[in-house]
Each structure stands twice: as C-alpha cells, then as structure tokens.
Amino acid sequence: MRTNWAGNLTFAAERVHRPASLDELRALVAGGRRVKALGSGHSFNGIADTEGDLVELSGLPADIDIDSDAATVRVAAGVRYAELAEELDAHGFALPNMASLPHISVAGSVATGTHGSGNGNGSLATAVRGLELVTADGGSQVLSRDEDGDRFAGSVVALGALGIATHLVLDLVPAFQVRQQVRTGLALSDALAHFDAITGAAYSVSLFTDWREDRFTQVWLKQLDGAPAPDLPWTEPAPGPLHPVPGVDPVHCTPQDGTPGPWHQRLPHFRPEFTPSNGEELQSEYLVPRAHAAHALDALAGLRGVIAPVLQICEVRTVAADDLWLSPAHGRDTVALHFTWIKDQPAVTPVLGLMEAALAPYEARPHWGKLFTTAPEQVRALYPRMDDFRALVAQADPEGVFGNAYLDTVLGG
C-alpha cells in the first residue's frame, strides 16, 4: 500500500512497479491500460493516482550529465533537487531558483508548476530547455524549447497527461552565494502599502503569517552576496533563527545569520538532510495576478477568523510570468498564497470553499498538486490555452493511458 507524502491519500493502484531501465519502463507503458508515474509523492490530491499501474521512477539510473559549454544539465526525472544541486555546485553551476523543500523530484515539480520566490524568478519549469518522454505506445519523444516552440510550451507543465518524463534538460547559471536573514513585525497595512519594495528587497522574499492578526510574523530575505542590504524600516531583525511555523524548532531550517553560503544551502527554507513536517500537514496554494495581490490579501484578512483555527502557516511569494500553457504563472506576474494546514481534511475543506469564493474575483489559480475545491470549469477558464492543451492530450494519448480520475475531472471530457 502506497500513500502520498502527507499520508492523506492512499493510492488505488492495482500494481506498483519500480523499473530499473528505460526499456522496462517502455514495456510497462506499452502493456498498460492506465499508467501513472510517481516521483517524491509530494502532492496532496489525486494527480498521481491511478487504478492501474503506478510507476516509481526512483529505480531508474539517476543521471546527472552536465554540459559545461552549453551551460545545461540533462537530469533523470526522479532525481531530487537536493542531489542535483550538490552536483551542479561542485561543477561551478547553479539553478536560478529552488523551492522551499529540496526533497522534491525534478519532474514532478516541473509538471505541476512548482516554484520558489523572487520578482524576477520564474517557476522551476522555466529552466527546462528539453524534455524526454515515454509516450502512450511505449515509444519515445524528445522535445526542445528551440525546435518545438508552441508544442514545447504546452508540454512542460503537463500534469503527467502527455507521457512519463524520463529526463529533462535544464538551463544553468554560474554558481553564486546567498545571504539569508529574517525580519519580523510587518503590519499587513505596511505590507500592502510597500508590497513592491518588500518583495523586491532581495533575490527571493517570503512573507509568513498565521492570520491570527493583520500582520506578517516573518519576512525571509535571500539576498545575493554583494548586493545592497535590504532596507525594510517597517520591520525589525529577528531575535535569532526561526521556523516559519511559530513555536517549532528551527533546527531543520537553512542558515539565517546573514553569512554567505552556496545558493542551494540558502534558497530552500529547509535543509535536505531533514524532512520537515512529513505527514503532519496538508497544503493548498492559490496564485493570483500581481496586480490583484493587495485585494486578495485583504480578502483573506477578512476570513482570518475561519482560516487561523486550521492553519499552521501561510506563505506569500512572487513568481515571474512565463509562457507555459498550464503554468499557474502563465501570462502574468504572480503572487502565490500558500497555506500549510493542520492534518484534518474535513475541517480544512470547508475553509477552502470560503477562500476560493473570496478569491474568485482575483483570478486565483489553484496549484495543480495541492488541495482545492474550485469547480473544474472555473479552473479551465483560468487558462487561455486550456483548449489547446486538451487537444494536445487527445492527440498524444487518445486511449487515456496516462489519464486518471483527477485529469478526467480537471480537463473535462
């Protein structure tokens, strides 16, 4: 019996496979009726579930092939960001950004539009230059940003609907150093009045609140070494290291003392040698156009009486616009409103409905891999290229080999 990372979902698969080679994977897909790939399992809904064959990619060779001349890396889909980052840094390279958790797999993160933070930083999927898939007939397909243009833009954030990714080619940048510090005491009114200055004060900025009051409890600033010190007169320095969730020991968190360190040891919030909160939380996220950020935060503040009792912490981050069809940041600079809930789905679900109603005027796109109750037709309407994506799925997988109940619902018939 397999469960997801949080333990709130038990996979319905009849069989679970861990192929050791690409040939074995291709044979599984060619002989399967319904097949889904599973990466690190860090999803909170049925996006990776199946009633057929569940394929764990962790058994495939963990390829990490760096092309120094092209400044790219070809990485196996099941590799986790922590392992990839260590190898890249050892060769003098870096990814432009990382998510808060380095424990997640590359392919799963890309397929769902997962992101870090920073006004100028796109989601993790924007680093993808090439994509290698096992197709519905067990064959192979290679897609390139340079050669496949529009089709490529529709195939990167694809929810696993077009095939099983086996390798991705990612753009790299030279390795860099980052300083991290935390500040506290930011009133909501100051955050809204100075939102651009605050989110632009460092390379990556995260705001945290438990919504018990109209304020942000913490501001995490990840600053490029050598950049000017952030000027945030509406806050004060934290008294020492902090965990985003009030009262939790920060031993699992990355260093916050302002000392420079390698990019991969500062951009995530948590250290790779720990797995924080594993199984003790649920998550949701809604992504709104940056232009609506103040209104969206005001709407949430109006619901803090129902949000706070079931909330561990809420994080606010920024993501640059991209052209990937199903990316939550498609076509718009974005503000991401992330919620880490207590592990009580019956108590959390009605709160999601209230929040979604309050955020509906602000074009809130739910994160594909987290909990939401937004009606499928409303979700589809939030993506201008959704009909094109559905046509792409119909062409690539007419028999629905990579389909499941989640995709059937979200994409529609």
Q: Of 28-42, 110-124, 150-164, 361-375, where does mean pLDDT reach its minimum?
A: 28-42
Question: Stretch 150-163: mean pLDDT, rounded?
Answer: 97
**Angle at Cα 327 formed by Cα 136 and Cα 48, nearest 5°?**
45
Q: What is the pLDDT of residue 4?
A: 87
Whether 283 is in a domain gets the answer yes
Buried b (16+ CB within 10 A) or exposed e, 173-195: eebbbbbbbbbbbbebebbbebb
Asked if the model's pLDDT at residue 278 lies above 60, the reply is no
Q: What is the pLDDT of residue 280?
A: 83
- pLDDT above 90 as % of the chain: 91
Q: What is the pLDDT of residue 222?
A: 98
Whether 413 is in a domain gets the answer no
Q: What is the CATH number of the domain that holds 66?
A: 3.30.465.10
Q: What is the pLDDT of residue 12?
A: 86
Partners of 36 in the beta sheet?
A: 54
Point out the domain boundary residue: 174, 207, 241.
174
Round to whole Å and give the CA distance between 393 and 142.
16
Whether 307 is in a domain gets the answer yes
Report the mean per-residue pLDDT for the chain.
Answer: 95
Whether 400 is in a domain gets the answer no
Q: Are residues 261 and 354 in the same domain?
A: yes
Q: Are residues 42 and 167 in the same domain?
A: no
Question: Residue 139 has what DSSP assignment?
Answer: -
Round to whole Å and give the CA distance between 405 and 328.
21
Asked if the model's pLDDT at residue 236 lies above 80, the reply is yes
Q: Are residues 200 and 346 in the same domain?
A: yes
Q: Where are the beta strands (DSSP E) in 63-144?
A: 64-67, 72-76, 93-94, 128-134, 140-144
Asked if the model's pLDDT at residue 34 lies above 70, the reply is yes
Q: Are residues 96 and 108 in the same domain?
A: yes
Q: Are residues 130 and 199 in the same domain?
A: no
Of 412 and 330, the structure prediction assigns the larger pLDDT to: 330
Largest CA distance in the chain: 62
* Contact in structure between 121 and 329 (CB atoms under 8 Å): no
* Calculated CA dihedral for residues 355, 293, 406, 142, nearest 10 degrees: -170
Q: What is the pLDDT of residue 277?
A: 55
Q: What is the pLDDT of residue 413?
A: 67
Q: What is the pLDDT of residue 381?
A: 98
**199's tokens:** 């989110």
**Tally of domains in the chain:** 3
Q: Are residues 156 and 182 in the same domain?
A: no
Q: Are residues 204 and 89 in the same domain?
A: no
Q: Are residues 167 and 182 in the same domain?
A: no
Instruction: Kindly report the number of other CB atoms within 10 A of residue 273's CB atom.
Output: 9
Whether 1 is in a domain gets the answer no
Read off the pLDDT band of 155 (50, 70, 90).
very high
Question: Stretch 337-341: mean pLDDT, rounded?
Answer: 97
Q: What is the CATH number of the domain that holds 207?
A: 3.30.70.2520
Whether 162 is in a domain gets the answer yes
Whether 366 is in a domain gets the answer yes
Question: Stretch 169-178: mean pLDDT, rounded?
Answer: 98
- pLDDT above 70 as % of the chain: 99
Whether 381 is in a domain gets the answer no
Point out the domain boundary residue: 118, 139, 174.
174
Q: Are residues 160 and 189 in the same domain?
A: no
Q: Are residues 137 and 217 in the same domain?
A: no
Q: Are residues 71 and 213 in the same domain?
A: no
* Contact in structure between 255 and 266 (CB atoms under 8 Å): yes
Asked if the model's pLDDT at residue 279 lies above 70, the reply is no
Q: What is the CATH number of the domain that holds 41?
A: 3.30.43.10
Of 334 and 103, the structure prediction assigns the larger pLDDT to: 334
Q: What is the pLDDT of residue 13?
A: 85
Residue 100 sits in which domain range?
A: 60-174
**Does an H or E element contain 236, and which?**
strand 236-237
Point out the domain boundary residue: 174, 209, 239.
174
Q: Are residues 196 and 341 in the same domain?
A: yes
Read off the pLDDT band of 5 (50, 70, 90).
confident
